[in-house]
Amino acid sequence: MELNQQTLLDMLYYMKLTREIETRIERKLYRQGKIVGGVYVGRGQEAIAVGSAIQLEKDDCICPSHRDMGAFLIRGITPREVFAQYMGRKTGVTKGKEANMHMGDMRRGIVAFVSMLADTVPVAAGIAMTFKMRKQANVVLCYFGDGATSRGDWHEGLNLASVQKAPVVYICNNNCYAYSTPLEKQMAVKDVAVRGAAYGMPGVTVDGNDVAEVFRATREAISMARRGGGPTLIECKTFRMTGHSAHDDVKYVEKELFEEWEKKDPILRLETSLLESKTVSQEAVKKLAARITREIDEALAIAENDPFPDPAETLDGVYADQSAEAPLAFANTFFSQVR
């Protein structure tokens, strides 16, 4: 895929759409009590999912983590589905079984995030090995945070992928914190990228707030993976411009750090560069913002009126064998007790 004007404009659209959807989720719906449970967003990290996932082809696959909303949107999850998912509606991706970002859809090449950090990393290696065995020229993009790279499964997954020359690109959102733990208290190396060398894998570090840089590094890694050259580890340096989750007041992060990174906001940067190069006009930027607000308003209005699932559907799609009696008996007993 060329990094031309149209690609840049498409990326601006997806980055802004991500920001606006997540702002509604984190700062409105959650505070209104319409979303219960944890809410994790990728405010400030939008360039990473967008600059990479935009290059995928139809039968490629993503293994997103909890700050990669842009990748879901690019793979075809609609804003209505996202809102319905978070509000536990039947029309959500998990049909109301989970009200968070642990959502996947194999038809759209999205493998649901395993909540145990780094557990998706060996899974991604396995999917990529399947592509290779089937002689399909497809790739897997696997996302995670810096904290996940200190988990054992992460290392086993990278090793396996590298030994097998699996067509997978490992993408780290290095946002300086793992919840409240700053980088230097979490790992003894400065860059996550150097960890690739231990597994004979190229490791590159890019400015994760520069969508063009993310795009170029991913393009090279995808091309190598499709040619049978094996995996790459891409570390995208960025910053989480909000709390770990919606309930977190981030008192442990200096105010100055937020101010510093506000200036490096990836959306602001792309928009400014497109305006300065006269690729877009002020008028077009305003129109894009209005289009996104309209799309979100419409999607949210529909999702809010969407039904909750029927309790009788609780187990649908949960067990491979729908006729299994034990879980049904358990569910019947459970519901007869709560009713």
Ligand X SMILES: Cc1ncc(C[n+]2csc(CCOP(=O)(O)OP(=O)(O)O)c2C)c(N)n1
Residue numbers at the binding site for ligand X (CB under 6 A)? 67, 115-117, 144-148, 151, 173, 175, 177-179, 240, 244
Single-letter residue type at 276:
E
Nearer to ligand X, 170 or 177 (CB): 177
- For the annotated catalytic residues, the residue numbers are 240, 244, 252
Nearer to ligand X by Cβ, of 84 and 193: the residue is 193
Question: Nearest distance from residue 254's CB to ligand X, in Å?
Answer: 17
* Shortest reach from residue 70's CB to ligand X, in Å: 14
What residues have CB less than 8 Å from 169, skipping those under 6 apart? 52, 139, 140, 141, 142, 218, 221, 222, 225, 231, 232, 234
**Whose CB is nearest to ligand X?**
145
> Which residue, 138 or 205, has its beta carbon nearer to ligand X?
205
Distance, in Å, from the CA atom of 123 to the CA atom of 161, rounded to the nearest integer, reads: 10
Rounded Cα distance between 197 and 136, Å, is 27
- Residue placing its CB nearer to ligand X in the complex, 85 or 175: 175
Give least dist CB 21 to ligand X, A: 17
Among residues 233 and 274, whose Cβ is nearest to ligand X?
233
